[in-house]
Amino acid sequence: MDSESHKTTAEKLVYMANQIATFFHSQPMDEAAAGVAEHINHFWEPRMRQQLFDILEQPDNGLDPLVLEAAKQIRKPGTVSA
């Protein structure tokens, strides 16, 4: 990969999660974290969610605080759906 637009998948996932958080930041506060979690549960394939959990374990992972807050409600891949 020869140019700066080509991020790794992990970098992209951080970027995407933060984009989702950015939208929900403007929504009423009580819905924001749940909104982020629901969005990721609805649209992210298990592999992507697993990678997100891996990223969450790293310090200074670059994730928006709202994503960190939402993480509790994001479904771990392989667990039974609600």
Partner 1 sequence: MSLVHEIDYGTPASLSEKMVTLTIDGNEVTVPEGTSLMRAAMEAGIQVPKLCATDMVDAFGSCRLCLIEIEGRNGTPASCTTPAMEGLVVHTQTKRLKDIRKGVMELYISDHPLDCLTCAANGDCELQDMAGAVGLRDVRYGYEGDNHVFTKADGIANDRWMPKDESNPYFTYDPAKCIVCSRCVRACEEVQGTFALTIEGRGFSSRVSPGMHENFLDSECVSCGACVQACPTATLTEKSVIQIGQPEHSKVTTCAYCGVGCSFKAEMRGEELVRMVPYKDGKANRGHSCVKGRFAYGYSTHKDRILNPMIREKITDPWREVSWDEAYKYVANEFRRLQYQYGRNSVGGITSSRCTNEETYLVQKLVRAGFGNNNVDTCARVCHSPTGYGLKTTFGTSAGTQDFDSVEHTDVVMVIGANPTDGHPVFASRLKKRLRKGAKLIVVDPRRIDLVRSPHVSAAQHLQLRPGTNVAVVTSLAHVVVTEGLFDEKFIRERCDWEEFQDWAAFVSSPEHSPEAIEELTGVNPQTLREAARLFATGGNGAIYYGLGVTEHSQGSTTVMAIANLAMATGNIGRKGVGVNPLRGQNNVQGSCDMGSFPHELPGYRHVSDESTRDIFDKLWGVKIQDEPGLRIPNMLDAAVDGTFKGIYIQGEDILQSDPDTKHVAAGLEAMECVVVHDLFLNETANYAHVFLPGSTFLEKDGTFTNAERRINRVRKVMSPLNGYADWEVTQNLAKAMGLNWNYTHPSQVMDEIAMTTPSFAGVSYELLEKEGSVQWPCNEKAPLGTPIMHIDGFARGKGKFIRTEYVATDERTGPRFPLLLTTGRILSQYNVGAQTRRTDNVMWHEEDRLEIHAHDAENRGIRDGDWVKISSRSGETTLRALITDRVSPGVVYTTFHHPTTQANVITTDFSDWATNCPEYKVTAVQVGASNGPSDWQVQYDEQARQSRRIKILDAAE
For 6, the 3-state DSSP assignment is coil
Q: Which amino acid is at 54?
A: D
- Shortest Cβ distance from residue 41 to partner 1 (Å)? 8
- The single residue among 34, 39, 56, 69 that binds partner 1, judged by CB under 8 A, is 39
Q: Identify which of residues 19 and 58 has a Cβ nearer to partner 1 in the complex.
A: 19
- The single residue among 14, 20, 70, 76 that binds partner 1, judged by CB under 8 A, is 20
Q: Are 40 and 52 in contact (CB under 8 A)?
A: yes
Q: Measured between alpha carbons, how far is 66 from 35 in angstroms, rounded to an integer?
A: 10
- The single residue among 29, 30, 42, 72 that binds partner 1, judged by CB under 8 A, is 42
